[in-house]
A and B are shown apart, each in its own frame.
Chain A
């Protein structure tokens, strides 16, 4: 049977790629260290497949059809279209169709209704963490796109339920397979709003404390109203919440938190120790 061997999360600010050459040295040092540690932990988990959870930044989907959650079941995915990611070394990324289809079928059986795509383009949300972690080899990726950009969006309890469902589906996959989860996005930031550039550090630190405490109810009670008040980029915390649900709400460890005004984002990196007992 398949095994969940690691759960991780990281920010994905586009300016980390676009403005890399002009970022102050101390910022680059911090970012290198955090993504490097995340990459070290992910590699140590030796995943055969990585389920990556990220928003779509108006690349695959538009107002004509905007899924709340979409699972990419393709054998391969397209690399990032953003001009500032020309240096990303993969124009094609391997998928893992059998696991993706199993996630999809498990979801439908459990009364979840994801959208499905046989051909996804993985934008900076997926690819910046992959690039900056500097892994020797990318595992096949099962992309899960969550609508974090255009209201209305999934509730926080539903995100937790999705996380639990992913863990259950992985455990039920009838082949030996080491599976890791990487959620990307957040923490606080504001894009295209009057508050653009503002980082809500109290919000970020509260989120971190709540993930560390682990309990679901306080996380829900905080995030549901707070996400309506902080910058719109904070909605990407939904992906972290899915990761938290997959980890059973246990074992959160902050790797680093850096409010980085140069990239407009409260950046954070974390992992969950999935083997920890309740």
Chain B
């Protein structure tokens, strides 16, 4: 299932200036998007596995890079999410 507003936030954060604001104050940026409490909590917890089911995998990868997560940590978490996670295979 695609979460439009989560996807929209990840899309918007591709701009370096927007990503800088986000890294400085996540709560302020999160407040601009009508996310469900569960999704908001997953974002704040950097829950890669949970979020991977809700957005396009490319946006997921860009978001965590913009949020400051290293490639190594992202790879470890997305691989731990296991097969069945990830949205692209839906199609």
Q: How far is the CB of B12 from chain A (nearest CB, A)?
A: 9
Compute how far the CA of A63 lies from the CA of B54 in the bound complex, rounded to whole angstroms. 13
Q: How far is the CB of A11 from chain B (nearest CB, A)?
A: 16
Q: Could you tell me if B78 and A193 are in contact, using CB atoms closer than 8 angstroms?
A: yes
Q: Tell me if B23 is interfacial: C-beta within 8 Å of chain A.
A: no
Q: How far is the CB of A55 from chain B (nearest CB, A)?
A: 9
Provide the residues of chain B in CB contact with A193, threshold 8 Å: 52, 57, 78, 85-86, 88-89
Q: How far is the CB of B85 from chain A (nearest CB, A)?
A: 6
Compute how far the CA of A194 lies from the CA of B77 in the bound complex, rounded to whole angstroms. 8
Q: Is the interface of B mostly helix, strand, loop or mixed?
A: helix
Chain A interface size band reads: 20 to 34
- Tally the A-B contacts, defined by beta carbons under 8 Å: 70
Q: What are some 30 contacts across the A-B interface (CB < 8 A)?
A: A57-B58, A58-B14, A58-B56, A58-B58, A59-B14, A62-B7, A62-B11, A63-B4, A149-B56, A152-B91, A153-B91, A191-B61, A192-B57, A192-B61, A192-B78, A192-B86, A192-B88, A193-B52, A193-B88, A194-B79, A194-B82, A194-B86, A195-B79, A196-B75, A197-B79, A228-B91, A232-B58, A232-B86, A232-B88, A232-B89
- What 9 pairs across the A-B complex have the smallest Cβ distances? A151-B91, A192-B57, A192-B61, A232-B88, A193-B86, A192-B60, A193-B57, A62-B11, A194-B81
A residues with CB within 8 A of B: 57-59, 62-63, 81, 83, 149-153, 191-197, 228, 232
Besides A62-B8, A152-B91, A197-B75, 14 more A-B contacts (Cβ < 8 Å) are: A57-B58, A58-B56, A62-B11, A63-B2, A63-B8, A149-B56, A151-B91, A192-B56, A193-B89, A194-B78, A196-B79, A228-B91, A232-B57, A232-B86
